[in-house]
């Protein structure tokens, strides 16, 4: 049984949290203080435990979810029940938008990777704000266009690159994002495998190969140091 802790904005602490929630999200935090306060009134906070499914494929969309604390993984299931990890959301990211515009049902799953705190806004309120503050639309369009570019790139990679390349590119992307040669895999081998279209065993083997070749060093199960980025990307 889920033990969701739903707050509807009556306590000071919670109002404070919702305000924070809005103020950390790129799509809202460019607004005037008064405007943000108005938006805060139309959100409520929710907290879920590790493993809780926030929405299912097929659920009707109930709104926009903004991650305040914790991480959420978005995944899909194929016909035969295999899971593919689509992306991981962190503080300041949002989801639920896809079904806000055209579809009315979700086409993926959202699951709490640890304890998470979310701010939720209803579909109707969100659309109202988009029309009232056109600048928000531009922010959301920017975010969508980023995601679309990333997803198309990912699809192209899975379709055309070898498994070695895909893994190497994933590591390189992560290193660039974190701006460091020491990276921490944000997920299990199984999830990573499903993300780049291979099997957990293959991930283990390839990482071992990379290490033998002197391109990386595995420090822990999750921590990796990249020693020779160029060689890695030449595979």
State which residue, 47 or 99, has the beta carbon closest to DNA. Answer: 47
**Of these partners, DNA, a second copy, none, which one is at the site of residue 164 (CB under 5 to 8 Å by kind)?**
DNA
Instruction: Give DSSP secondary structure letters for 110-122.
Output: EEESSSEEEEEE-
| Bridge partners for 184 per DSSP | 223
Find the shortest distance in angstroms from Cβ 55 to DNA: 20
- The region, left, alpha or beta by phi > 0 then psi within -120 to 50, assigned to residue 70 is left
Residue 179 and residue 72: Cα distance in Å, rounded? 22
Q: Residue 175 CA to chain centroid, in angstroms?
A: 17
Residue 165 and residue 20: Cα distance in Å, rounded? 40
Find the shortest distance in angstroms from Cβ 51 to DNA: 7
Residue 176 and residue 178: Cα distance in Å, rounded? 5
State which residue, 121 or 140, has the beta carbon closest to a second copy. Answer: 140
**Of these partners, DNA, a second copy, none, which one is at the site of residue 58 (CB under 5 to 8 Å by kind)?**
none
Label residues 217-226 b or e (16+ Cβ within 10 Å = b).
eeeeeeebeb
Binding site for a second copy (CB under 8 A): 76, 78-79, 82, 84, 86, 97-98, 100-103, 107-108, 127, 130-131, 134-135, 137-138, 140-142, 144-149, 151-161, 165, 194-197
**Of these partners, a second copy, DNA, none, which one is at the site of residue 141 (CB under 5 to 8 Å by kind)?**
a second copy
Find the shortest distance in angstroms from Cβ 165 to DNA: 8
Binding site for DNA (CB under 7 A): 50, 162-164, 188-190, 193, 197-205, 207-208, 218, 220-222
Residue 78 and residue 194: Cα distance in Å, rounded? 11
Query: Which residue carries 């002197």 as its tokens?
Result: 214
Contact in structure between 218 and 211 (CB atoms under 8 Å): yes
State which residue, 97 or 117, has the beta carbon closest to DNA. Answer: 117
Find the shortest distance in angstroms from Cβ 35 to a second copy: 15
Residues in the chain: 235
Find the shortest distance in angstroms from Cβ 87 to a second copy: 9
State which residue, 30 or 200, has the beta carbon closest to DNA. Answer: 200
State which residue, 68 or 189, has the beta carbon closest to a second copy. Answer: 189
């Amino acid at each position: 049984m889920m033990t969701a802790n739903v707050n509807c904005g009556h306590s000071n602490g919670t109002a404070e949290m919702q305000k924070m929630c809005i103020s950390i999200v790129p799509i809202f935090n460019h607004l005037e203080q008064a405007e943000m306060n108005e938006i805060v009134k139309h959100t409520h906070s929710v907290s879920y435990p590790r493993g809780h499914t926030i929405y299912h494929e097929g659920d009707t969309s109930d709104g926009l979810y903004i991650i305040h604390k914790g991480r959420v993984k978005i995944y899909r299931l194929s016909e035969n029940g295999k899971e593919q990890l689509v992306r991981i959301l962190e503080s300041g990211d949002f989801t639920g938008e896809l079904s806000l515009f055209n579809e009315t049902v979700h086409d993926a799953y959202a699951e709490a990777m640890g304890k998470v705190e979310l701010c939720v806004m209803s579909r109707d309120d969100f659309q109202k704000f988009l029309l009232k503050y056109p600048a928000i639309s531009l922010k959301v369009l920017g975010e969508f266009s980023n995601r679309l570019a990333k997803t198309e790139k990912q699809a192209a990679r899975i379709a055309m690159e070898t498994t070695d390349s895909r893994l190497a590119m994933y590591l390189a992307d992560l290193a660039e994002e974190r701006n460091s040669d020491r990276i921490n895999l944000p997920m299990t081998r199984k999830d990573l495998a499903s993300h780049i279209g291979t099997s957990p065993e293959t991930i283990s083997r390839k990482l071992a190969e990379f290490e033998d070749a002197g391109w990386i060093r595995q420090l822990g199960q999750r921590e990796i140091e990249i020693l020779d980025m160029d060689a890695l990307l030449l595979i």
